[in-house]
Amino acid sequence: MFKSTLRSLPVVAALCFLAACGYTPTKPGSTAKDPQSAYKEGKDLLDNGSYDSAITAYEQLEARFPYGNYAQQAQIDTIYAHYKLGEMESVVTSADRFIRMHPNHPAVDYAYYLKGLAYENAKTDEWLPFLPRQPLSERDARGAQNAFDTFRQIVTRFPDSRYAEDARNRMHELVEALATHELNAARYYLQRRAPLAAVNRAQYIVSHYGESSAVEEALGLMMQGYKAMQMDSLAADAERVLRQNYPASRFLSASAR
């Protein structure tokens, strides 16, 4: 029995050595002998909705075969997998990496598109995933602005892209959301008897979102704000512009129509 124990010691020592060296078994997806096979493994996982496993497979592909078309396609698919998982920050990070590494890639417009979607769909309360996503106009305006800027790059840099039309439509929606965000702030300030702050927000709408549906009310708030500050001349100017552009506006007093 003593000799048997002695014979088992080398095995135990070997196991301890492997553990001390941080040995980890080969992960699934890392046995492919060529980049095409490695990419197929990741793509199959992606198509089956196993997004976490697909990301792992693509990361292994890049580590083993860092150059060539398959590695580049794996990077694109990784962006998409993060998007499907709702990991919007990772989408932006992965997209920025791809854009930086491959600015002339035929699919770089798709990287921009996914990045814009990530900004547009990001939640400000990621730590409470069970809550419904807030309307764009009620979220932090930085996300909507970043989304708008990203979609604008598609429209200006890739006007013939298959994503250009949808990017334009989303830009229009984002402008409305950004203008409404400013409008909500202007209303709040006017209710709080801070007319100067309200006027500043309303002016910003007229200057930056002149094609949005919020302009009519912005002019009305400017008129009210100036009147509250007893700046009658500026109030009259705001009323004149309002009347010229929206003659039937509800913000014009009955006596002024």
Instruction: Per residue of the chain (257 residues), give pLDDT as tens.
Output: 434 443 444 544 444 444 444 434 444 545 778 999 999 999 999 999 999 999 999 999 999 999 999 999 999 999 999 999 999 999 999 999 999 999 999 999 999 999 999 999 886 544 444 444 555 545 667 889 999 999 999 999 999 999 999 999 999 999 999 999 999 999 999 999 999 999 999 999 999 999 999 999 999 999 999 999 999 999 999 999 999 999 999 988 743 54
CA distance 177 to 138: 8
* 55 closest CA partner among 41, 36, 34: 41
50 phi-psi bin (left φ>0, alpha ψ -120 to 50, beta other): beta
What pLDDT does residue 192 have?
93
Q: Are 202 and 184 in contact (CB under 8 A)?
A: no
Q: Are 74 and 62 in contact (CB under 8 A)?
A: yes
What pLDDT does residue 228 have?
95
CA distance 117 to 151: 9
What pLDDT does residue 131 have?
42
CA distance 242 to 187: 17
Roughly how many angstroms between the first and final C-alpha of the chain, as a whole number?
109
pLDDT digits (tens, 9 = 90+) for 209-223: 999 999 999 999 999
Greatest Cα pair distance in the chain: 110
Contacts of 248 (CB under 8 A, 6+ apart): 257
* 110 closest CA partner among 146, 150, 149: 150
What pLDDT does residue 135 have?
59
CA distance 108 to 245: 42
* 137 closest CA partner among 125, 153, 152, 120: 120
* 205 closest CA partner among 242, 234, 156, 236: 242
Q: Are 215 and 252 in contact (CB under 8 A)?
A: no
What pLDDT does residue 115 have?
98
Question: What length does the chain have?
Answer: 257
Q: Are 221 and 198 in contact (CB under 8 A)?
A: yes
Radius of gyration of the chain (CA): 29
Contacts of 214 (CB under 8 A, 6+ apart): 176, 179, 180, 182, 183, 205
> pTM of the entire structure?
0.77
CA angle 152, 173, 137 (to 5 degrees): 115
* 224 closest CA partner among 208, 214, 238: 238
What pLDDT does residue 133 have?
53
